[in-house]
Amino acid sequence: MSAPPPRRALVLGLLAALAVAGVLALAAARLRDRDATSEVDGGTHTVLRTEIARTISGQLTLPFRNGPDAVHCSRDLRPVRNDEVSCTAHFPIGLDRHLTVEVTRVRHNLVTYRRHSLPR
């Protein structure tokens, strides 16, 4: 048997609301993902600024919105806990976003770092 029309509309409305909630939860999880781990470059013994920029660009890209056009970091990141690097994400529309990247953990040749947004 098929459901009466009012019940069918209610079920479709609930399914649409669940789909929207799922997309919003995914977007929120991507925005909160601030930690990343990279290998130390064998030649420079640092995490290269290009690797940091690639990681930040990926973190700032949402499922239905393009990420930054470019991310520039001031220098490479040394594998020393609490070492910091300043970065700027350049978006096609809107203001640039200024960030600090800080080393939170060093284990062998892997460096874990966290990005922090700076106030505008």
Residues 21-48: pLDDT tens digits? 666 655 555 555 589 999 999 999 999 9
**pLDDT value of residue 5:** 62
Q: What is the 3-state secondary structure (H, E, C) of the chain?
A: CCCCHHHHHHHHHHHHHHHHHHHHHHHHHHHHCCEEEEECCCCCCCECHHHHHHHHHHHCCECCECCCCEEEECCCECCCCCCEEEEEEECCCCCCEEEEEEEEEEECCEEEEEEEECCC
**pLDDT value at 49 more than 70:** yes
The mean pLDDT value for 42-57 works out to 94
In this prediction the pTM is 0.70
Look at 66 and 106; give whichever has higher pLDDT: 106
Per-residue pLDDT tens digits for 73-105: 999 999 999 999 999 999 888 788 999 999 999
